[in-house]
Every structure is written in structure tokens, then in C-alpha cells.
Structure 1
Amino acid sequence: MSDYESDFEDNYEGDLNDDGIRKKAASFVSDKWEQMKRPLWFVGIGIIAIGIHVFIGFAIANNFHKAIAPIVMLGFVYLYLLYTYVIVRVAKSYKEPLVETGEKVQSIWQISFRGFPLLQLAFFGIIVAGFLVWLIIDVRQVNNSDVTVTPHSNIRFRSLLAIICFVIIGFLISANPARVKWRPVFGGIFLQFTVGLLVLRWPAGNSAFHWAADQVVTFLDYAFVGTDFTYGFISSPPPICDFGSVFIFTSLQIIIYFGAIVSVLYYLGIIQAVLSKVAWLMQHTVGTTAAESLNAAACIFLGQTEAAILIEPALLTMTESEIHAVMTAGFACIAGSLFSAYIAFGACPTYLLSATVMSAAVSLAVSKLVYPEVQESKQKRSEDFKFANKGNNNLLECISNGAVHASQFVWAIGANLIVYIALLAMFNTWAGFVGTRLGYDDWSFNKLMGYLFFPLAYLMGASDAADSHTEIQETLRVAELMGMKTILNEFIAYKELMNMKADGRLEGARAQMIATYALCGFSNISMIGSQLGILGAMCPRRKAIFAKVVIRALISGCMSCFMTACVAGILVSKPEACHSNAFSNCVYLSNITDHLSPYLPSTPMPSTTVKF
């Protein structure tokens, strides 16, 4: 054998030995990592937990008031851990006794006499009686403490009467009045009142909701940094010649930012976790099924399109009543991404947030009243529900896809605004043309809508003005807005609300509040096509059923929004006045520099308002 062949065999054997050593080393490292991975994970979580507690401790020592928010968040974390690792495990260990006790309680709860559930009627009767007593005492206390008591100080009772009338109307137009199950109806209204009491009357809850509204506005403000960089002069023109920011390049651009954030939350599983818990609450209080409860919960945070996407796998097997509930919730709520646009129009952020939460609950109640369940549902257990997979592979792809998807809605909204504002001007011109020929020079489409919706607005207690003439005029203005929202869309109505507040046509705080709540929803005629298009594209086999129930769903959505306004009218004794100038600038104008100044250009931002 030559020296060359000998050296080759030595090297080859050496390579084999090196390869074996590498495999053994890799196997050793892998085994050790598997052994150490779990302890290291616990160590990392422990370090983070200790860091959070240290941070909160220093925050409390520095300023307790500013530390309230992180303290509350930490409290929720402790409650979640307590529920997950203590209560659930204890309940599992006592599963059989708990099940037996639950069955006994259920049998007692179902005791009836001649078809009437005695305990249930007694329970809800006590709640209703207690609420009425509280309302009477509260109204008297407000009247006694207010030096400007007017004959209309008891107008809150009129709002309560309006809710009763809406329930009666819903029963009269019901698809099957004899099959109405009253538990979802009263359960949804009860949940709506409960949420209203927590966020509107409970001082701590009201403060928390105000804080949440401020955080939402602040969170949406960050989109201005990207908008200003991208559009520059168009989004922040200099304060000369009465220049104003262009609406589609400012407020509507926030939709893109919000869409990307929602996509990230969905990718991380946060959206699914929150929605599952809210859906569970609705399912066990209102008594609705998993899919319709989940959709209503999703409508609180998302728009009707995103909410429908979440329940897409269930559309094929849903009952007609469940489909009607899905459509009703879509009509009754708004998209969180549109908060900025409504705020820019002068709507109060606190009212908007509470409206969408309260409308989600009552939308299920009204839906089950107008279109009762007569079929067997296949979507009863929320635990078995599967969320749709959006197919994102990583976080960056998720952000990009969410932004691109949301950008389509910006231009769609802009196109709709162009068309509907033009149509409104045309209708007003036509109405004025007809009116002048008949001797009524002040006729307009807006006034006709006001007269059409005036009975509803008056019944809801839209104005508490002391002067009867002012009361009628304010009620007509609110009725006009309700008509615009129903016939055209809520964007046009909120824009007109801003104009009414700016020129003094709608000065009453209660009228502004009722209008803000009544307009907060997608329940307008133009959205019928959107609903049919969205759901029809997801499940083409059920287009006929979608078309069959959509008109009733639109009516139910309108009733849900108006009932939410009534609940606010009952619970709020002294509405806060949200002036348009205070909120039209909060998203992208001068006061944004308070918390974004390190990121904004050195050129001072204008203090002008949006121009249309």
C-alpha cells in the first residue's frame, strides 16, 4: 500500500470518529436541554414575576395614584391564577358532589305551577322591584339636590317606558311569537343593565371606564407618528389660511394600525382567550348558544367582518335563529378601529366604549325576541368551538397581513362617505324643491327624517330641557340624527352631530348623550348589502337564509342601539357634556404632543380641526 493510500484511510477513519463524537455531543446537549428546559422556564417566569412586583413596589412608593392601573392588572393576573390552578382543580376533585348539587338546584329552579316557573318569576320580580325602588329613590335624591328642578326631571322614567315599548314592538313583529323563550330576552336586558350600572353609576367602575377610554385614545394616537411620516403635509398642514387635516389621511389611517394590532393579538391567542371567557359569560347568563355568544362578544372588540370570520366554521350548521343573532350583533355594534373616526367627529369616548359593550348583550335579547329559536342547535358548547386559522407563520407576517387587510376598509369607507354625503345633499335639495312648491321653504330630507323618528326619540327621552319648545327642537334634532344613521350611515350622522354641537343646535348634555348612544352601531340600510356579501362569501350554500333574516336583523340592530340609549338615559342622572372641540383634536392634533413629543417632527402641529 502506498503512503498516499495509508494517509487517506487514516484521514477517513478520523472523519468517522469526529462525526461520531459530534453526534454524541449533540445528543448529550439535547438531553441536557430537555432536562433543564422546564426548570429554566420556571426560573425565567420567576425572574419576570419578581421584576414586575419590584416595579409595582417602586411605583407605589413614588406615586400611589399613578400605580393604580398596574396594581389592578396584577390583581386580575392573581385572580386568573387562582381560578386556573386552585378553583378549577378543587372543582374537579369534587366533581360528582357538585354535579349532584347542581342538578338538585336546577330541579328546584324549574319548579312551576300551571306552566309558570315560580322561583324564576319570583327571582326576576324581586330584581325588577328592587331596581324600580332604587330608580325612584335616585331620581328623588337628584331632584332634591338640584336647585334647577324642572318639570322634566323625571324623564328617566320615560326612557324606562321606552324599553318596555321596544320589547312589546319586538314581540309584535316576532317571526314566531308563540315560541319566544323569555330567558334570553330578560337575561340579555338584565346583563345590559348590569354592565350599565358598573360603568355608568358605580364610581369605581366609571373611573375605570374613563381611564380605559383615555388609554384607548392614547393608544390610537400613536398611529399619527406613522401617518405624519407617510403623508407629511397632507396629514399635518401648517396653521395658515385655515388649513385643516384631510380626514381620510388622518383618522381613517388609524384603522390600518388597529387592524395590525388586532392581527397580532389573534396570532398570540389573546383575542381567543378573552372572547371565550366573555362568550362563556353571555352563554350562562343570557342562555344563548356558543357560536352566537362568541360572535356577540367579538363584536364588542372587532367589527362585523372580523367577528364573522371567527365563527366562519360554524356558519354551515347554524340554525336560522343563530344566523339572525349573528347579523343582529353585527348591526348593533361598531368596529373598535372606527373609534378614532367617531371621536374625531366629537363623540365622547366613554359613551362609545360603554355603548358597544352594552349593545352586544341586548342584541342577543332582541334577536331571540324577534326571531325565536325553534330548531336544535349544534353549537351549544363553547369549549368545543374551533377558531378559524388565519395562516400567519410569524409575527412580522401577521403585522403585515393585518395592516394590508385593514387598508382595504379605509378606502371603502372613504368611497362610501363620498357617495352618501353627495346623496344627502341631493335628497335635501329635492326635499327643498318639493317644499318650496307647497309653500314650505325650510323643508329638507333631514327634517323629514326628524319627523319620521320623532316619536321614538321623544319616547326615549332625548331631551330634558326645561322649556317645552327647546325640548321639542332638541328631540327633533336627535330624531334627525337617528334617521340619518338608519337611512344613510352612522358616519354621516356623527358628522352632523358635530355640526349641531358646534353651531348650538344641540346644546343639551342629555340630548348629546342619547344621540351618541343611539348612533353607535352599523344598523343602517346600506349595511344590508355588506352583511349579505360578507356572510354569503363565507358560506355560499346558505345565501337564501341570510337574505331571509337580514331585514329582521336590521330592525333588531336598530332596536338594540336605541335600547342602549334608553339604558344610558335611565342610569345617568347628570350626563357629561362632551364638546366637539375637546375631542375632535384628541387623535392627531396639538394635544398629542403631551405623550408623543419625542417621536414627532420638530415643526409645531396645527391646532385646527378636521375640514370636510
Structure 2
Amino acid sequence: MFRIENAQSLLGLIVIIALCWAVSENRRVFPWRLAAGALLIQLLLVLGLFGLPPLRAVVAALGQGVEALAAATQTGVAFVFGFLAGGEGQPYAVANSGALFVFAFRVLPVILVVCALAALLWHWGVLKVVTRAFGLVFEKTMGLRGPPALAVAATIFMGQVEGPIFIRSYLARLSRSELFMLISVGMSCVAGSTMVAYAAILKDVLPNAAAHIITASVISAPAGVLLARILVPRDIAAEQSEPLETGSEKSYESSIDAVSRGVSDGLQIALNIGATLIVFVALAAIVNGLLGLLPDIAGAPLTLERILGVIFAPLVWLIGVPAHDAQIAGALLGVKLVLTEFTAFIQLGATPVAAIDPRTRVLMAYALCGFANIASVGMNVAGYSVLVPERRSEVIGMVWKAMFVGFLATCLSASVVGLLPRELFH
């Protein structure tokens, strides 16, 4: 049954695409076939994963696997940190069990385990097959060349800078449009390591949290490709002048080497996330402290979250959020952009179940599930400066546009989900 809320999301989908077209480098070129194909892929994926019983069972099994992975991780954390990691065996009476959930002990260690597991699965060939299958789908349905298609698929599972590593030898020969697309897709998705962390944060407030997070990252890839191609249209002449053949450089010497290097990579990611959260949350507290010096507005203190809520309320309404939730949801979207998506997911997880509509929570899980934030701009410049130093100035010139695309790509994914009946996700 098509409701007003679904029409709301349809309007948001049209506005997001129109906005990207309005700031396109060549408005006379619009990828109509790509737009139809990308949106169709998104709809079919969501309908298949949540509407078909066999696939829904697979998604449910993945969710249980995520929970089992988180539980196994806690076993390792408890062995190292003892009662500090929470759980049983507390030496003191616990008055507030919720206080036992410490981010540094419950979320960051999951990243270490997932990175090690991903490296091992890649070495064994399992993740290779999955990545190449997605790459083939993107190549055939969205007109991507082999190496960029492989990098887009790898980005879904490995991350915004780690994905392009798989085609490092080709980066210098990619067209400007393809390079922009890779950066944009990197900001549209999240890494496999953080997917599990987000699912752990939301599991108590969002049914099938793991399924939603996995689906969100996957469907945001074609959304990122589409919006990137609209902003910087495909240069067929440049692609024909630089023929490419699919290849991959990522390899490990043994299973032990894969696990060891995966742990090392995971540690770097976890430390970077922890340090970034400390700094950005501290900066937000400083801003709120300064805003607190101003008189109250509408009977309440002025805060960064309130300001962001007002700014982004129209956008979240367009993707399908009810008007009465727009202020809260808009603040979450703003926090994602300014303070990283991790901070936004933590706030979404801390939002009481009764405080917002269940549909709002589902839509925001998709809208927040991407790396498009100010911190990622620096990470991409640093990463690509190492991967392809000869194109550093080119990356710097397009990275803010890529953040714009990545930010809107997750909103586009949320709009696609908003087109579907809410009963599908119960």
C-alpha cells in the first residue's frame, strides 16, 4: 500500500538527484540508463533481502553471525581486561548495568577481530569470490570498467582507502571521472569492520540491525556511483585511450601472515576511530560551551545538535522521516557530517525506542551508514597521496565534492528504502 510517507521519500529521491544534476560539471549529459539501473539494483536488493523468505533467512543468519562474532570478541576482551570489559564477575555491586557498556571495550575490539577475519577470508579466497562477484555485477549493470568495478566492490567490504589498494597499479591511469567515483563511493559506504560495530551499537533498539547495516552499505555503492557520474560525467574518450585489465595486488604469504596483518590494520583503524571520536566530541563540547553563553532560544539552551537539527530537518523530511521526528533525525545527520558517523550511530543507539517512530530509526540507519564526514576528507587525501602521489593535487581538488556525493548517496539509499512499505521491515 502506497502511503503519503512513501510519496515523501519519492520526492526526496527526485530532489537529491536534481540537486546533483544542478551542480554537475556538464548538465547537458545525464546518465539516464545508469540512473534507472542503479535505482533498480537498490530496490531489488532491499526487496530481495527483506521480502523473499529464503534471502530473509540468510540475512537473519548473518545477523546471528554478527552477534556471535561480537560475543566471541568479548571473550577475548574479558581475558585481557577482566571485569573492566563488563559482563559477569564484577567485584562490586552494579547499580546501573547500562554503565558496563564501555565503547572502548565493546565496540573497538570488534574492529580488530573483523579485520583479522577479513584478511584470513581474503587469503583463503572466500572474500575474493564475493568481491569479484559484486565487481562483475557493477561492471555489467552500471557500465564500469573491470578494475574500477573491482575497487568499488572491495570498498564495500574493506573501506574507503583500503578498497582502491586492490587496483593500486591502475589508479594513475583511471580517468578523472573514475577516480572521482572511487573517492565518492568510499565515502558512500562503510567498511566491514565498522558494519559489525554499528550493528552492535543498534542491536537493542533496531530489529535486524545487522541486516540493515549490511544492506545499507551495499546499496549505497550504486547510489555513490550514480551521483558521482552525474556530478562528474563519464569521459568515454579518456577511458578508451587507457585500456585496463582486471588485476589485484592484495596478497598474503600464509594464514598466519593474513591474521597478523589484519590485526595490525585493525589496530590502526581502531586507534584512529578512538582518537577521532575523542577530539571531535571534545570540539563539539567546546562549541556547546561557547553557545551556552548565549541566551536561551525557545526556552532551551542553544547547542550544536539543535543548530544541525534545524539545518538538516528539511533533508530528513524529504527522505521520509515524519515531521515530528525531523529535528532529532536532522541533528543525527548533522552530527554524522561534522562529528563522524560513529558519533551519530552512538546517539541513535542511545535514543529511546519510544522517542522516535520505528520507520524513522530504520531510515536513519541507512542515512548514517557512510563515511562522508569532514574527518574523511583528510583521510582520503592522506590515503590517495600514498596510493597515487602523482594525482594528489587532483584528489585535493575533488575530495570535497566527493564528500558531498557520499553524504547524499546514503540519503538517496534511505529514500529508496522509504519508497517501500514499512511492514516489509517488521
TM-score, length-normalised on structure 2?
Answer: 0.91
- Name structure 1 gaps, 5 residues minimum: 1-137, 140-152, 464-471, 578-612
Map Cα deviations across residues 236-287 of structure 1 (whole Å, 9 max, x no partner).
3616243514321232111111111111122223322222221111111111
Task: Name the amino acid aligned to 2:52.
Answer: W
Residues 536 and 512 (structure 1), Cα distance of their counterparts in 2 relative to 1, 3 Å cut: same
The residue that corresponds to 2:141 in the other structure is 285
The residue that corresponds to 1:164 in the other structure is 14
Are the counterparts in 2 of residues 321 and 372 from structure 1 also a CA contact under 8 Å? yes
Q: Which residue of 303, 313, 321 maps to 1:462?
A: 321
Task: Name the amino acid aligned to 1:415.
Answer: A
Are the counterparts in 1 of residues 25 and 231 from structure 2 also a CA contact under 8 Å? yes
Q: Which residue of 121, 135, 154 maps to 1:265?
A: 121
The residue that corresponds to 1:118 in the other structure is none
Q: Which residue of 303, 312, 334 maps to 1:444?
A: 303
Q: Secondary structure at the match of 2:379?
A: helix
Give the whole-Å Cα distance in 2 for the aligned partners of 1:554 and 1:339: 20
Q: Which has the larger radius of gyration?
A: 1
The residue that corresponds to 2:263 in the other structure is 403
Residues 292 and 435 (structure 1), Cα distance of their counterparts in 2 relative to 1, 3 Å cut: farther
Map Cα deviations across residues 12-65 of structure 1 (whole Å, 9 max, x no partner).
xxxxxxxxxxxxxxxxxxxxxxxxxxxxxxxxxxxxxxxxxxxxxxxxxxxxxx
The residue that corresponds to 1:491 in the other structure is 342
Map Cα deviations across residues 483-512 of structure 1 (whole Å, 9 max, x no partner).
11112211111111122226x432x10111
Task: Name the amino acid aligned to 1:539.
Answer: V
The residue that corresponds to 1:417 in the other structure is 277
Relative contact order: is structure 1 or structure 2 higher (C-alpha 8 Å, sep ≥ 6)? 2
Give the whole-Å Cα distance in 1 for the aligned partners of 2:196 and 2:281: 20
The residue that corresponds to 1:365 in the other structure is 226
Give the whole-Å Cα distance in 2 for the aligned partners of 1:330 and 1:294: 13
Residues 236 and 500 (structure 1), Cα distance of their counterparts in 2 relative to 1, 3 Å cut: closer
Q: Quote how far apart the aligned CAs of 1:408 are.
A: 1.4
Give the whole-Å Cα distance in 1 for the aligned partners of 2:149 and 2:352: 37
The residue that corresponds to 1:539 in the other structure is 388
Q: Which residue of 31, 36, 39 maps to 1:186?
A: 36
Q: Secondary structure at the match of 1:511?
A: helix
Q: Which residue of 178, 184, 204 maps to 2:54?
A: 204
Task: Name the amino acid aligned to 1:167.
Answer: I
Map Cα deviations across residues 356-398 of structure 1 (whole Å, 9 max, x no partner).
111112111111111101242269988x3110144x3222122
Task: Name the amino acid aligned to 2:262.
Answer: G
The residue that corresponds to 1:427 in the other structure is 287
Q: Which residue of 382, 386, 399 maps to 2:247?
A: 386
Q: Which residue of 94, 107, 113 maps to 1:240?
A: 94
Task: Name the amino acid aligned to 2:21.
Answer: F
The residue that corresponds to 2:166 in the other structure is 310
Q: Secondary structure at the match of 1:178?
A: coil
RMSD between aligned alpha carbons? Answer: 2.1
Task: Name the amino acid aligned to 1:444.
Answer: T
Alignment pair present for 1:216 and 2:77: no
Map Cα deviations across residues 132-151 of structure 1 (whole Å, 9 max, x no partner).
xxxxxx32xxxxxxxxxxxx
Q: Secondary structure at the match of 1:174?
A: coil
Residues 570 and 189 (structure 1), Cα distance of their counterparts in 2 relative to 1, 3 Å cut: same
Are the counterparts in 2 of residues 510 and 575 from structure 1 also a CA contact under 8 Å? no
Are the counterparts in 2 of residues 485 and 492 from structure 1 also a CA contact under 8 Å? yes
Task: Name the amino acid aligned to 1:271.
Answer: L
Q: Secondary structure at the match of 1:433?
A: coil
The residue that corresponds to 1:13 in the other structure is none
Are the counterparts in 1 of residues 67 and 200 from structure 2 also a CA contact under 8 Å? no
The residue that corresponds to 1:274 in the other structure is 130
Residues 447 and 411 (structure 1), Cα distance of their counterparts in 2 relative to 1, 3 Å cut: same
Are the counterparts in 1 of residues 314 and 326 from structure 2 also a CA contact under 8 Å? no
Are the counterparts in 1 of residues 213 and 366 from structure 2 also a CA contact under 8 Å? yes
Q: Secondary structure at the match of 1:177?
A: coil
Give the whole-Å Cα distance in 1 for the aligned partners of 2:318 and 2:164: 33
Q: Which residue of 365, 371, 374 maps to 1:522?
A: 371
Q: Secondary structure at the match of 2:337?
A: helix
Give the whole-Å Cα distance in 2 for the aligned partners of 1:408 and 1:200: 35
Q: Secondary structure at the match of 2:108?
A: helix
Are the counterparts in 2 of residues 166 and 559 from structure 1 also a CA contact under 8 Å? yes
TM-score, length-normalised on structure 1?
Answer: 0.64
Q: Quote how far apart the aligned CAs of 1:297 are.
A: 1.1
Q: Quote how far apart the aligned CAs of 1:218 are.
A: 1.9
Give the whole-Å Cα distance in 1 for the aligned partners of 2:60 and 2:314: 32
Map Cα deviations across residues 391-410 of structure 1 (whole Å, 9 max, x no partner).
x3222122112112211111
- Name structure 2 gaps, 5 residues minimum: none
Q: Secondary structure at the match of 1:376?
A: helix
The residue that corresponds to 2:214 in the other structure is 353
Map Cα deviations across residues 514-565 of structure 1 (whole Å, 9 max, x no partner).
1111101101111100011111111111001111111111111111100111
Residues 379 and 350 (structure 1), Cα distance of their counterparts in 2 relative to 1, 3 Å cut: farther
Are the counterparts in 2 of residues 185 and 364 from structure 1 also a CA contact under 8 Å? no
Q: Quote how far apart the aligned CAs of 1:288 are.
A: 1.8
Residues 299 and 325 (structure 1), Cα distance of their counterparts in 2 relative to 1, 3 Å cut: same
After the TM superposition, which residues 512-591 of structure 1 pair with which residues of structure 2 at under 5 Å, given as runs? Answer: 512-574=361-423, 576=425
After the TM superposition, which residues 72-221 of structure 1 pair with which residues of structure 2 at under 5 Å, given as runs? Answer: 138-139=1-2, 153-221=3-71
What is the aligned residue count?
A: 414
Identity %: 24
Task: Name the amino acid aligned to 1:409.
Answer: I
